[in-house]
């Protein structure tokens, strides 16, 4: 393993760990926001982008540092398909974020209606 491989291993590892930490923090944020029934579309798009980026970093790590799949066509195709799906997700996330930024709609919120519980009335009453 050369110097560039070690540098990439460190960079991919740090990127993956940071993305996972951000995903965990955003998950807690969204849990609180969904309970309040108001979610920022910009933050939702950022969460989608970060999720796709996290998958992309995991696939990049897998592609770059796998040794035993050089001759296996099935795993090579799986890597290629996983990379394509992660890239499409990342691109869609970037497109949504770009659209929201350039239309100055980063403050759009999605409001969920309250779930009303029906109160059962006694027939005898």
One pLDDT digit (tens) per residue for the chain, 125 residues? 677 778 877 888 888 888 888 888 888 888 888 788 777 788 888 888 888 888 888 888 777 777 655 567 667 777 778 888 888 888 888 888 888 888 877 676 666 676 555 555 555 55
What pLDDT shows up at residue 68? Answer: 55
What pLDDT shows up at residue 61? Answer: 79
In contact, 111 and 37? CB cutoff 8 Å: yes
Q: Pseudo-torsion of CA 61, 63, 64, 65, nearest 10°?
A: 80
What pLDDT shows up at residue 115? Answer: 54
- Rounded CA-CA distance 61/11 in Å is 10
Domain edges within the chain? 3-111
Cα 5 from chain centroid?
Answer: 26
What pLDDT shows up at residue 119? Answer: 52
What pLDDT shows up at residue 94? Answer: 83
86-121 confidence digits (pLDDT tens): 888 888 888 888 888 888 776 766 666 765 555 555
Evaluate if pTM is beyond 0.85. Answer: no
What pLDDT shows up at residue 84? Answer: 86
- Rounded CA-CA distance 67/17 in Å is 22
DSSP string, the chain: --HHHHHHHHHHHHHHHHHHHHHHHHHHHHHHHHHHTEEEHHHHHHHHHHHHHHHHHHHHHHHHH--TTSS-HHHHHHHHHHHHHHHHHHHHHHHHHHHHHHTT-TT-EEEPPP-PPPPPPPS--
């Amino acid at each position: 393993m050369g110097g560039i491989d070690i540098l990439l291993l460190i960079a991919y590892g740090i990127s993956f760990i940071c993305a996972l930490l951000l995903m965990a923090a955003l998950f807690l944020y969204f849990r609180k926001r969904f309970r309040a029934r108001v979610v920022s579309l910009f933050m939702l798009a950022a969460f989608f982008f970060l999720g796709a980026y996290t998958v992309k970093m995991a696939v990049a790590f897998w592609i770059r540092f796998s040794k035993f799949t050089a001759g296996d066509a099935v795993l090579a195709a799986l890597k290629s398909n996983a990379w394509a799906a992660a890239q499409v997700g990342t691109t869609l996330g970037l497109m949504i974020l770009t659209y929201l930024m350039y239309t100055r709609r980063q403050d759009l919120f999605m409001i969920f209606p309250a779930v009303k519980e029906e109160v059962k009335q006694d027939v005898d009453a």
